[in-house]
Structure 1
């Protein structure tokens, strides 16, 4: 029997329960929207790269030298920015597409039937948060590790402690099942997630930027 955790806050009440098949569509919506929220931060990150500065300076300069038109040069800057926006979308869209064909294609099969767990936070009869956990296939010698996946909370329900409650649920599940560690991957752009995980006792062992340019 899996634990059912009920949490209350001054703003709202919610409870955390195990995933059920009827949650599937809402869970996918939360997962996809959560990933797409990182696109603006990725675009801003791309704008800070030296090679982006070279593009934004070099392309319009080349256009002026070739055409003599400052109007075309200005349009070329807009075109480069447009391409950068498309580029910022690619890693997140690619990741979502990959998950929809792997673990998120059948959550019951991928998590609940694979010695893992998948939990949802429900408020007012609506799923507003999700998190999953799966055993690490090749953990370090002598360790039994659970990997945390897809922590996401609806933007309308943040600030109520739901993300922390979902994370605590995974940690408790790991303790109950005899895991020695809970691990996860994130990117350097997910600063809010970093703060949450560190506040809950996780340690950084590496940091990466999703995608390349």
Structure 2
């Protein structure tokens, strides 16, 4: 028997939901950091600047200190897109979940509860401008507490959205996710989602790509 159950969001869940959402986004920083380290510009910076310091000052200690500071800077940089995304959401749809999802026809916000604690979330809203002849529902905010993964909660939350879409007469469920979110990408593929597009690349000045290509997936 499942040790969790899924229900509709209630206002008393707000604090825990925002905590899960924020932590889930922050978990992508290490993968973004590794992505940054593999970029040619980053490798050139990590090798070139310390070497220049050694040639100018003759100090290997300064070169090591330089590398440490560069790595710390890159770690800070890697976390910024996720912090900015969380901040944006907290000032838009997540600022009032009931108004954004539960008061809007054809939308929903669900939580997974285990032991009287919210351990997972998922949301869905209608796509504003779907392709001609399609009625599409977009999946958002899929997140599961790190302590409760591996129990099928994420799949159960996605199935909840898929069933809701069928009940509401939607033709497709769509979503966007980054290639760095490998766990999420694998989950969606395993549940029958198919890639429909590879879109948007965000860049910083100087050419650092903080997030690689973003996938758009659909479940018909």
TM above 0.5: yes
Partner of 1:184: helix, strand, or coil?
Answer: strand
Q: Is the 8 A contact 1:188 1:207 kept in 2?
A: no
Residues 1-213 of structure 1 mapped to structure 2, 5 A cutoff: 8-9=1-2, 13-115=3-105, 116-207=107-198, 211-212=202-203, 213=208
Partner of 1:205: helix, strand, or coil?
Answer: strand
> Tell me, which stretches of 5 or more residues in structure 1 are unaligned?
1-7
> Tell me, which stretches of 5 or more residues in structure 2 are unaligned?
209-220
What is the alpha-carbon distance in structure 2 between the residues aligned to residue 195 and residue 209 of structure 1?
20
What is the alpha-carbon distance in structure 1 between the residues aligned to residue 122 and residue 156 of structure 2?
10
Partner of 2:94: helix, strand, or coil?
Answer: coil
Q: State the TM-score, normalizing by the size of structure 2.
A: 0.89
Q: CA deviation at 1:65?
A: 2.3
Q: Is the 8 A contact 1:187 1:209 kept in 2?
A: no
Q: CA deviation at 1:66?
A: 2.3
- CA 74–208 in structure 1, closer or farther in 2 if over 3 Å, else same: farther
- CA 128–209 in structure 1, closer or farther in 2 if over 3 Å, else same: farther
Corresponding residue of 1:4: none
Q: CA deviation at 1:195?
A: 0.8
Partner of 2:93: helix, strand, or coil?
Answer: coil
What is the alpha-carbon distance in structure 1 between the residues aligned to residue 156 and residue 144 of structure 2?
11
Q: CA deviation at 1:211?
A: 4.4
What is the alpha-carbon distance in structure 2 between the residues aligned to residue 210 and residue 90 of structure 1?
15
Q: What count of residue pairs does the alignment treat as equivalent?
A: 203
Cα-to-partner distance string for 1:21-78 (whole Å, 9 max, x where unaligned): 0100000010001001111111111111111110111111121222221111111111
Q: Is the 8 A contact 1:186 1:208 kept in 2?
A: no
What is the alpha-carbon distance in structure 1 between the residues aligned to residue 199 and residue 6 of structure 2?
30
Q: CA deviation at 1:210?
A: 6.9
RMSD between superposed Cα atoms in Å: 1.3
